[in-house]
Amino acid sequence: MSKSETEKPGFVIWLTGLSGSGKSTIADRLAKILSQKGRKIERLDGDILRGIFPNTGFDRQARDEHIQRVGYMASRLEHHGVIVIASFISPYRKARRFVRGLCKQFIEVWVKASLEECKRRDVKGLYKKATTGKIQQFTGLDDPYEEPEKPELIIDTEHQTIEQSVSQILDKINLFM
């Protein structure tokens, strides 16, 4: 007998990487696939949540506090059997470790693309604004991005398609499904 929907465990898939690396695109595609499989999904996205919490700053302390709040929210959803797909630059290792500590099943996915590739993509025009001084404390330029030390997955979006990236994540999470 298969587990009912409420008995299936939740878990957190945390996509981290530079702006323009492909986090949101991959997360959206992944959420659609898992939702079609009948799982309870919640998408937490940096751009969307910053719109809801507009006074969130961009200095190190403000970024850490924002990630900690989101991490707590993710852990509570996970506790209730929800698969949380979180896409945040989350540039600092300490904040990501904090979130990992809150969650029972935490899958850190480094969505990896070089700074040059992210600048080339620049879908939102943020790199251009940052290089002209219109945005300060921009991750990867004048604020660091601390690469994950031991992520569960590394998705290289410079050298693989979105479909390949999503497939790689699906292969990994089959253990939790």
pTM over 0.95: no
CATH number of the domain located at residue range(s) 6-173 in this protein: 3.40.50.300
CA distances, 30 to each of 12, 76, 164 (Å): 13, 21, 11
Structure confidence by residue, pLDDT tens digits, 74-86? 999 999 999 999 9
pLDDT of residue 176: 66
- pLDDT the model gives residue 1: 37
Catalytic residues: 90
Given a contact cutoff of 8 angstroms between Cβ atoms, the answer to whether 110 and 153 are in contact is yes
What's the token pair of residue 115? 């700074």
